[in-house]
């Protein structure tokens, strides 16, 4: 079942193909608030992987390559899959000096790799587009070596996201249930980073350092006092395959 029917484009594929030209700018750099959201995720990846021994890395839904950029010039063999061919071409150009193989694939069809291959798998802001995300978790587990790591991110159902549920083109996750599925697939949760709490438009509109500092302090306080699964808009997990 591997390999996608390239003649039929899904809505998500069309959306990200159209978005590819200005994706990095509008998603991560247009305001101080967006840069902060980007930092939360990429700092988590950087801090947790800096001492790992990685020879082979996969990013699922690598987009415009913002996470892969953290692994440039590190002599790591990089693999990536993405459903949007325009994203793929853009990222391929930027990474042409690297030992990299980027594939145009739909993760719904499974991961086109053999078992026990990767030391690190990253999947950020992607599982929310995958109805059959349980199958994708099993596929991620399959292709990871024993004792290797994955960094996965999902949006939280019990957060302000829930108010946009009927407008959104993605799924929200009940975090305790997601953790159960992780465990079922042989993942141990090593670390959890709760993300921002307030609606996205507030971060998008935030352009002063002072307001951002207030916002991020409030995020930190709320994330400390609220229980797992309540409040923050997204969760990033560092997982070990046991």
Q: How far is the CB of 105 from ligand SAM (least distance, A)?
A: 6
Closest CA to 130 of 102, 159, 169: 169
Residue with structure tokens 């990095």? 24
Residue 16 or 198 having the CB closest to ligand SAM: 16
Number of residues located near ligand SAM, criterion CB under 6 A? 20
Q: Is 49 a residue that touches ligand SAM (CB under 6 A)?
A: no
Residue 40 or 144 having the CB closest to ligand SAM: 40
Q: Is 63 a residue that touches ligand SAM (CB under 6 A)?
A: yes
Q: Is 70 a residue that touches ligand SAM (CB under 6 A)?
A: no
Closest CA to 48 of 152, 143, 145, 176: 152
Residue 87 or 100 having the CB closest to ligand SAM: 87
Segment contacting ligand SAM (CB under 6 A): 58-66, 144-152, 190-198, 215-223?
A: 58-66
Is there a contact between 179 and 156 (Cβ–Cβ < 8 Å)? Answer: no
Residue 62 or 178 having the CB closest to ligand SAM: 62
3 φ, ψ (degrees, to nearest 5): 90, 140
Q: Is 79 a residue that touches ligand SAM (CB under 6 A)?
A: no
Site map (CB under 6 A) of ligand SAM, residues 128-147, x = contact: -xx-----------------
Binding residue (CB under 6 A) for ligand SAM from 32, 82, 119, 139: 82
Closest CA to 48 of 176, 192, 198: 192
Q: Is 81 a residue that touches ligand SAM (CB under 6 A)?
A: yes
Q: How far is the CB of 95 from ligand SAM (least distance, A)?
A: 14
Alpha helices in the chain (DSSP H): 11-19, 23-24, 32-49, 85-94, 133-143, 175-184, 200-205, 209-225
105 φ, ψ (degrees, to nearest 5): -140, 155
Q: Retrieve residue 203's tokens.
A: 């971060």
Q: Is 106 a residue that touches ligand SAM (CB under 6 A)?
A: yes
Binding residue (CB under 6 A) for ligand SAM from 40, 45, 84, 100: 84
59 φ, ψ (degrees, to nearest 5): -115, 125
The secondary structure element, H or E, covering residue 224 is helix 209-225
User: CA-CA distance, 75 to 156, in Å (whole number)?
Assistant: 35
Q: Is 33 a residue that touches ligand SAM (CB under 6 A)?
A: no
Q: What is the largest CA-CA distance in the chain?
A: 52
Binding site for ligand SAM (CB under 6 A): 12, 16, 61-63, 66-67, 81-84, 87, 106-108, 124-126, 129-130
């Amino acid at each position: 079942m591997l390999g996608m029917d390239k003649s039929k484009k899904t809505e998500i594929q069309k959306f990200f193909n159209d978005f590819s030209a200005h994706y990095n700018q509008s998603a991560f750099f247009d305001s101080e608030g967006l840069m902060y959201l980007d930092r939360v995720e990429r700092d988590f990846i950087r801090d947790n992987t800096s001492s790992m021994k990685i020879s082979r890395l996969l990013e699922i839904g690598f987009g415009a390559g913002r996470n892969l950029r953290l692994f440039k010039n590190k002599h790591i063999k990089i693999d990536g899959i993405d459903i949007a061919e325009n994203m793929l071409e853009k990222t391929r150009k930027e990474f042409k000096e690297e030992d990299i193989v980027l594939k145009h694939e739909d993760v719904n069809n499974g991961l086109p790799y053999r078992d026990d291959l990767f030391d690190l798998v990253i999947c950020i802001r992607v599982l929310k587009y995958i109805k059959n995300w349980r199958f994708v978790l099993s596929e991620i587990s399959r292709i990871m070596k024993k004792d290797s790591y994955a960094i996965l991110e999902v949006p939280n159902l019990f957060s302000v996201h829930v108010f946009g549920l009927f407008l959104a083109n993605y799924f929200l996750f009940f975090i305790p249930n997601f953790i159960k599925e992780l465990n079922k697939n042989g993942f141990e949760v090593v670390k959890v980073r709760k993300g921002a709490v307030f609606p996205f438009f507030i971060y998008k509109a935030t352009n002063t350092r002072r307001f951002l500092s207030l916002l991020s302090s409030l995020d930190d306080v709320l994330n400390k006092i609220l229980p797992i699964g309540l409040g923050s808009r997204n969760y990033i997990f560092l997982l070990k395959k046991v």
